[in-house]
Amino acid sequence: MNILVINCGSSSLKFQVINSETEEVKASGLCERIGMDESRLVYQPAGCEKEKTVLPMPTHKEAIAHVINALTDEKKGVVKSLSEIDAVGHRIVHGGEKFAKSVVITEEVIKAVEECNDLAPLHNPANIIGIRATQELMPGVPMVGVFDTAFHQTMDPKAYLYGTPYEYYEKYGVRKYGFHGTSHAFVSARAAELAGKSYDDCKTVVCHLGNGSSISAVENGKCVDTSMGLTPLDGLLMGTRSGAIDPGALEYIMKKENMDYAQMMTVLNKKSGFLGISGVSSDCRDVEGAAAEGNKRAKEAIEVFNYRVAKTVGSYVAAMNGVDVIAFTAGIGENSATTRSAICKYFGYLGIEINEEANNTRGEEILISTPDSKVKVFIIPTNEELKIARETAELVK
């Protein structure tokens, strides 16, 4: 089956066409600046150069129409006609407590996703616009929704409840949901496989470290805890996000800086994290470069990041009463040997030993712990699009 995977943001749309039998990516690309001037399509059929074309995209509907035109084009297309696209898999950010699994999209499903809009006001409406536009242009093609939050729905109340009045949970769904679920699901399953363990009998910690970062504890195939919360602001230090902070500090800063709540949230989401501490950049590579040249704040930013990752992993080992495998994934987790090495130095108490030669690898699936290490540590490149294509194929076959 040819699956079109769509990840729709408010002004962008990423896509891939994946053959679900061979798992080959036939084409990929993105539409940028939807609803603005100079909107463009970036399109890359497998084995060919990327092609960028400026095209009018007043709405997502025109963007998807351009994608379909490119995919079915006589010269550069990868399918002869639209009828060769068997299904569409849509990434949906927030499924609240309504979706613990991927689902075939129906009107009822769209309504239920709309009911979660308040939980992800920037993302869910964009996801729905993408679904509606695709439905219009591809009538009769089955569509599947794959949720970022679904994998974490197996958490117990002890892991997801906040210490706030229970009525906020009951009335508004205030609780931890977690994100990057598609990545955590993909990587934890692969980690068990690589470790030679059954997924149903394996304790794994997945460190998804990228511009946004989160960690999950996966015990016997089920997520038992994760570091992001009601929103993706909680937990680790990130590119521009603060991660966990004493809520009391917010009132204090707002008074001192004469800020309102919206301004405070902008600071926490856009001006904090690596960028906020280092003052250099939100990009880990830049911060690592500055630290290597002796920049004190860049060094501190990296230390805060590594320390939080190590502490969170430790708490998840405690929660699961042990760990068999630790996996590093996403931009930093897959590429930064120094970050992985520095984090793993905290894990001596677990009997973890790192093979620094193996660790000096970028973006490849590889065991980086020594044969004597008590816990296996892997780099596992994540592949959310493939996971979405697999789930879509499974549901529509």
Could you give the residue numbers annotated as active site? 148
Strand ranges (E), the chain: 2-8, 13-19, 25-32, 40-45, 51-54, 87-92, 103-104, 143-147, 203-209, 213-219, 222-226, 325-329, 366-367, 376-379
Q: Is there binding between residue 218 and ligand AMP (CB under 6 A)?
A: no
CB–CB of 332/284 below 8 Å? yes
Q: Could you tell me which of 342, 339, 378, 343 has the C-alpha nearest to residue 358?
A: 378
Stretch that binds ligand AMP, among 120-128, 140-148, 252-260, 326-334 (CB under 6 A): 326-334
Q: Residue 343, exposed/middle/buried by CB under 10 A (0-12, 13-18, 19+)?
A: buried
Looking up tokens 């470790």, which residue turns up?
195
* # of chain residues touching ligand AMP (CB under 6 A): 13
The number of beta carbons lying within 10 Å of the beta carbon of residue 278 is 23
Q: Taking the complex as a whole, how short is the minimal distance between the CB of residue 330 and ligand AMP, in angstroms?
A: 4
Distance from C-alpha of 281 to C-alpha of 249, rounded to nearest angstrom: 23
Three-class secondary structure of residue 268 per DSSP? helix
Q: Interface residues for ligand AMP in 100-139 (CB under 6 A)?
A: none
Q: Is there binding between residue 335 and ligand AMP (CB under 6 A)?
A: yes
Among positions 145, 229, 331, 381, the unique one binding ligand AMP when judged by CB under 6 A = 331
Q: Is there binding between residue 330 and ligand AMP (CB under 6 A)?
A: yes
CB–CB of 386/23 below 8 Å? yes
Our CB check for ligand AMP shows the closer of 130 and 210 to be 210
Stretch that binds ligand AMP, among 24-32, 221-229, 331-339, 388-396 (CB under 6 A): 331-339
Distance from C-alpha of 139 to C-alpha of 65, rounded to nearest angstrom: 13
Q: Taking the complex as a whole, how short is the minimal distance between the CB of residue 208 and ligand AMP, in angstroms?
A: 8
Stretch that binds ligand AMP, among 6-14, 125-133, 306-314, 324-332 (CB under 6 A): 324-332
Stretch that binds ligand AMP, among 27-35, 60-68, 118-126, 328-336 (CB under 6 A): 328-336
Our CB check for ligand AMP shows the closer of 13 and 393 to be 13
Q: Interface residues for ligand AMP in 345-374 (CB under 6 A)?
A: 362
Our CB check for ligand AMP shows the closer of 208 and 376 to be 208
Q: Is there binding between residue 145 and ligand AMP (CB under 6 A)?
A: no
Stretch that binds ligand AMP, among 17-25, 27-35, 194-202, 327-335 (CB under 6 A): 327-335
Q: Is there binding between residue 12 and ligand AMP (CB under 6 A)?
A: no
Q: Taking the complex as a whole, how short is the minimal distance between the CB of residue 237 and ligand AMP, in angstroms?
A: 11
Distance from C-alpha of 221 to C-alpha of 187, rounded to nearest angstrom: 11
Q: Taking the complex as a whole, how short is the minimal distance between the CB of residue 241 and ligand AMP, in angstroms?
A: 12
CB–CB of 161/169 below 8 Å? yes
Q: Interface residues for ligand AMP in 231-270 (CB under 6 A)?
A: 239
Q: Is there binding between residue 284 and ligand AMP (CB under 6 A)?
A: yes
Distances from the Cα of 25 to the Cα of 17, 29, 118, 266, angstroms: 6, 11, 34, 37
Among positions 135, 154, 211, 341, the unique one binding ligand AMP when judged by CB under 6 A = 211
Among positions 5, 332, 380, 395, the unique one binding ligand AMP when judged by CB under 6 A = 332
Our CB check for ligand AMP shows the closer of 57 and 238 to be 238
- Write the Ramachandran bin of 56: left for phi over 0, alpha for psi from -120 to 50, otherwise beta: beta
Q: Are strands 325-329 and 87-92 parallel, antiparallel or unpaired?
A: unpaired
CB–CB of 45/39 below 8 Å? no
Q: Taking the complex as a whole, how short is the minimal distance between the CB of residue 122 and ligand AMP, in angstroms?
A: 17
The site for ligand AMP (CB under 6 A) is made up of 210-211, 239, 283-285, 288, 330-332, 335-336, 362
